[in-house]
Structure 1
Amino acid sequence: MVKRIQIPGSERSALPKAKKTGPAMLDHEITVTVYLRRSSGNEDLTEMMKNMAERPFSQQYLSRSEFEQKYGLEDESVKRVEEFAREYNLKVKETNTASGTIMLCGTVENFNKAFNVELSEYEHPDFKYRGRTGPIEVPEGLSDIVLAVLGLDNRPQTRPHFRVLSESRTGNFARSQASRSSYTPVQIAELYNFPQNVDCSGQCIGIIELGGGYTDNDLQQYFSNLGMPMPEVTAVSVNGGKNAPEGNPNGADGEVMLDIEVAAAVAPGAKIAVYFAPNTDAGFLNAITTAIHDKKNNPSVISISWGSAEANWTSQAIQAMNQAFHDAAALGVTICSAAGDNGSSDGVNDGSVHVDFPASSPYVLACGGTKLQGSGQTISSEVVWNEQNNGATGGGVSTVFSLPDYQTNAGVPALAGNGGNKGRGVPDIAGNADPVTGYEVLVDGQSFVIGGTSAVAPLWAGLVAIFNQQLGRPVGFLNPALYQIGQKGGSFRDITSGNNDTSGSGSYTSGPGWDACTGWGSPNGVNLLQALQAMQPAEV
């Protein structure tokens, strides 16, 4: 009898309010992603990350081809998984040696046997899903290389972090200055002093989407209204996901259009690659690894506006995705991720505080939210975004990731309500997110004002694209540099008023310097670019 080993952190429980309705159909074909541990090279990459943290921009980033050659899966590891698949009548659908993933397809019955699980159907008040409880097991011969098995359970893993202003606005975006309470992305960029007249045609911004879609007609009309040429937008299908507008602006379409319109408007000329995948842990991972290792579109920065509280993930999924973000850092790809829209609880109603993942990854630029008021280049007021039941910026302290070196001197507090724990602090930076002072966008033929930290991730992604264009090289793993710059002052607008408590479960309050509501604050784009230029070595 083959000895089996549990994959650490693979345990699942049924969702609250979900009822098991019966076993999954045994002959139903499904696809599952196996994420493998790198058998060599981790020490080199760890040393590279350490050098980056201590001396930003001291390391030459790897090209995608160099990374695959040096750190891609070894043939022996792939062979072992292929033999395992054959033994259980599974087929290898796709192998991505650069990302370390192998996709297997087969029947529910064969996957039940292969991983010693019992897949069942569950009914939740809002959806149905195929799920499992307990851990996943693999034969002992694979336990040293299999890091995660994702996709057996296909519950919705994340939610988009955007909020539509309750009173929709229709018609032309041009309104009198006196009545304006919302802004085009171009006006937001002006308020934040983004470098102007930069042609970003040498850059590609990747955007991760787990539902919804866009139409060329909407994009043409939107950018025509802004007086800008329509950007080049490419849809990339991952795991069967596709550009599929639902016709519901309050649904995923609102997220997709917000992301594209904000990123492309603030980084004129940048190409946009949108990676569509199913909203599952496997779909999310594969969308991210596809974007990171995409040799065709070559995104230098990736915007993620989807996420969920750390408590809602399996640790195997977090570990796999964090490894992917670690790889992105080595490649010089910046990851911008929304910090969440439900304040310090992050939408978990357990009386405790939580932070959102993937924003909590130490290799991700976590984007918090403010309420911004101003005109032209003059900001009259900016405070922490907190409209109570109508949303508030995520932020706090991770219970998964320890305090990264670059945050050592930032003054990250202990976890609220739990004196001693000092983990990774979230967010790193911020930007306008309150829908009351939100972004004017066009979705499904209608004009809306939308906010949420979902808007901040593409806003910063656009700013990073400008940096990359102006510097002539990717800024890549930006966090260590930003923390050094933040401590010197002058490159951020420090947000010192407000908190992110929405539930009475505890909260974090803004104050001078870094805080767990808005990080270092909102950007002064020109000053930040100058600070980055000053840090660049003469030759790298």
Structure 2
Amino acid sequence: MVTKHPLPGSERKVEQGSRVVGQCDPAERIEVFVMLRRQRQAQFDALMSKIEAGDPGVKPLSREAFAQEFGAAPDDVAKVKAFAQAHSLTVVREDVAARSVLLSGTIEQFQSAFGVKLEHYEHHTAGQFRGRTGTISVPDDLHGVVEAVLGLDNRPQARPHFRIRPPFQPAKGHQASFTPPQLAALYQFPQGDGKGECVGIIELGGGYNASDLKSYFSSLGVASPTVKPVGVDQGSNQPSGDPNGPDGEVTLDIEIVGSIAPGANIAVYFTQNSDAGFIDAVSRAVHDTTNKPSVISISWGGPESSWTSQSLNAFNSVLQTAAALGVTVCVASGDSGSSDGSGSGNQVDFPASSPYVLACGGTNLTASGTSISHEVVWNDGAQGGATGGGVSKAFPVPVWQTGLSASSTHGGATALSGRGVPDVAGDASPVTGYSVLIDGEQTVVGGTSAVAPLWAALIALINASKGQPVGFINPKLYKAQGVCRDITQGNNGSFAATAGWDACTGLGSPNGQKVAAAL
């Protein structure tokens, strides 16, 4: 008799607003990916505490050395393969470095293997998806070996954080949009073109048209960067022709990075919008030995409360790996203010709330000539969007945020009880947004989605000029004084801007040259 153990953190409840609309076809084939524990976890934790403390003696590990030291144990991989064979599941790929095994099989086989029941659900905003309730079970020999089983459920996990400016808002007497190179100049980015670096961009749907990119870069007088789509699982570059859909996100990200750092290669990782797809795409980018991105930009996310703890922990451990490999990960903090659109109190967006990423919030910026005349927290009201920011309920206060507090809009400040979000900021209001070309249409876009690739481009320029990656920069940024433009006006709902770090714009928007010097 095989004892089954519930997988910790895999509990799913019926999501509010969703209902079962039918049974899954037992013969339908799906792919599920299994994440395994790390070998030598204690040594890895010791290494991470040095990295988190900003220890200058720690050098990033190469991807190859990392795989050998801290990948999955060959024995553990063998156990998963034996389990797959016992349940007639096919092993599609195994990746020791990423500690993952991708399995393929029928719904019936997976239901029996993991003790779950999969059904079709419908949700008023997410549409139809395959879901489950309760926990996932694993047998004795995988108990403690498997950390997460992802992909049984394929509900949309994240949303893109961009906003297209409504056409009826005329410019109020000042320049109301900027090209990315204009913003790079206003923010005093260092010279250079990022040559020799690769920037990874994560996309959960949509696509880009090469013709858009070509005409956009030539209109700016910028050399066209090399852009390479990388399909993850069943993802691929599939532009829908709708600039308001995910195409807007994909094109925005590429045009911002490419016009500021045209010498850098851009690898765009396309996957499905589910927790499995999202985590796998980031993992593939982090461990990619072909393109070797030194910086990754993520403009997708969802409220912390919308993630199961197994997904949250699995994703966070991938981001931890990025820090150990010296890969900087820039993540948008969300566009729905302090509630993150959750409808239930204050929420921060994940993966922006991971302590291993640079969380990027938003400002509203006015310039006169070549200098910034006014910069405040991005908050265009309930319909217009506002920067995400607040205090994590999932992650404790990181070492580098010790002693900080979040200022409330109603006055007073509270010491951080968890990871504070964001770390930094940049122009994000669609009213003062980015001029881009999407699906053949010239348009102005904002959102914290634009800030993640803005910072990613800055890091690529710095990495190229240093000849080595700056890696996990949070400890250094928080130690360095005055490298960001402090934003002291405005709020995002519950939190207010204040001198120093705040839960709207973090340390502030970049002074690129000072950031480069501090790193």
- TM-score normalised over the length of structure 2: 0.96
Q: Shift of the alpha carbon at 1:168?
A: 7.8
Q: Which residue of 2 aligns with 1:511?
A: 498
Equivalent pairs, count: 516
5+ residue gaps, structure 2, are: none
- 2:65 maps to a residue whose letter is E
Could you tell me which of 500, 508, 512 is aligned with 1:521? 508
- 2:503 maps to a residue whose letter is A
Q: Which residue of 1 aligns with 2:41?
A: 42
- 2:311 maps to a residue whose letter is A
2:177–2:433 CA contact under 8 A, matched in 1 = yes
Q: What is the CA–CA distance in structure 2 between the aligned matches of 1:410 and 1:98, rounded to whole Å?
A: 36
- TM-score normalised over the length of structure 1: 0.93
1:168–1:447 CA contact under 8 A, matched in 2 = no
Question: After the TM superposition, which residues 60-79 of structure 1 pair with which residues of structure 2 at under 5 Å, given as runs?
Answer: 60-79=59-78
Deviations 1:415-471, CA, capped at 9 Å, x for gaps: 999978700000000000000000000000000100000000000000000110111
2:174–2:366 CA contact under 8 A, matched in 1 = no
Could you tell me which of 364, 367, 377 is aligned with 1:371? 364
User: Counterpart of 2:451 in 1: which secondary structure?
Assistant: helix
Q: Shift of the alpha carbon at 1:517?
A: 0.4
Q: Shift of the alpha carbon at 1:2?
A: 1.2
2:408–2:496 CA contact under 8 A, matched in 1 = no
Q: Which residue of 2 aligns with 1:362?
A: 355
Q: Which residue of 1 aligns with 2:82?
A: 83
- 2:500 maps to a residue whose letter is G
2:424–2:508 CA contact under 8 A, matched in 1 = yes
Q: Which residue of 2 aligns with 1:493?
A: 485
Could you tell me which of 433, 451, 461 is aligned with 2:446? 451
Q: Which residue of 2 aligns with 1:273?
A: 267
1:386–1:499 CA contact under 8 A, matched in 2 = yes
Q: What is the CA–CA distance in structure 1 between the aligned matches of 2:21 and 2:85, rounded to whole Å?
A: 31
Q: Which residue of 2 aligns with 1:108?
A: 107
Q: Shift of the alpha carbon at 1:71?
A: 1.5
1:370–1:385 CA contact under 8 A, matched in 2 = yes
Q: Shift of the alpha carbon at 1:269?
A: 0.8
Could you tell me which of 464, 471, 475 is aligned with 1:476? 471
Q: Which residue of 2 aligns with 1:323?
A: 317
Q: Shift of the alpha carbon at 1:96?
A: 0.8
Q: Which residue of 2 aligns with 1:426?
A: 421
- 1:348/1:415 CA distance change after superposition, 3 Å: farther
Q: Shift of the alpha carbon at 1:54?
A: 2.6
Q: Shift of the alpha carbon at 1:178?
A: 6.1
Q: Which residue of 1 aligns with 2:517?
A: 530
User: Counterpart of 1:52 in 2: which secondary structure?
Assistant: helix
Q: What is the CA–CA distance in structure 1 between the aligned matches of 2:414 and 2:35, rounded to whole Å?
A: 36
Moved more, 112-121 or 6-15: 6-15
Q: Which residue of 2 aligns with 1:164?
A: 164
5+ residue gaps, structure 1, are: 502-506, 533-540
1:415–1:422 CA contact under 8 A, matched in 2 = no
Could you tell me which of 451, 455, 459 is aligned with 1:460? 455
Q: Which residue of 2 aligns with 1:387?
A: 380
Q: What is the CA–CA distance in structure 1 between the aligned matches of 2:328 and 2:92, rounded to whole Å?
A: 29
Q: What is the CA–CA distance in structure 2 between the aligned matches of 1:283 and 1:369, rounded to whole Å?
A: 27
Q: What is the CA–CA distance in structure 2 between the aligned matches of 1:376 and 1:239, rounded to whole Å?
A: 47
User: Counterpart of 2:69 in 1: which secondary structure?
Assistant: helix
Q: Which residue of 1 aligns with 2:139?
A: 139
Question: After the TM superposition, which residues 429-444 of structure 1 pair with which residues of structure 2 at under 5 Å, given as runs?
Answer: 429-444=424-439
- 1:443/1:62 CA distance change after superposition, 3 Å: same
Q: Shift of the alpha carbon at 1:123?
A: 1.8
Q: Which residue of 2 aligns with 1:95?
A: 94
1:154–1:280 CA contact under 8 A, matched in 2 = yes
Deviations 1:25-62, CA, capped at 9 Å, x for gaps: 10100000101111x22222222222223334421111
Moved more, 404-413 or 432-441: 404-413
1:32–1:150 CA contact under 8 A, matched in 2 = yes
Q: Which residue of 2 aligns with 1:538?
A: none
Deviations 1:113-132, CA, capped at 9 Å, x for gaps: 11110000112234111100
Q: Shift of the alpha carbon at 1:13?
A: 2.0
Q: What is the CA–CA distance in structure 1 between the aligned matches of 2:416 and 2:327, rounded to whole Å?
A: 30
Deviations 1:82-116, CA, capped at 9 Å, x for gaps: 11111111111110110101111101011111111
2:406–2:415 CA contact under 8 A, matched in 1 = no
Q: Shift of the alpha carbon at 1:411?
A: 3.1
Identity among equivalent positions (%) equals 52
CA RMSD of aligned residues (A): 2.0
Deviations 1:324-348, CA, capped at 9 Å, x for gaps: 0111111000000000000000011
Moved more, 136-145 or 287-296: 136-145
Q: Which residue of 2 aligns with 1:284?
A: 278
User: Counterpart of 1:44 in 2: which secondary structure?
Assistant: helix
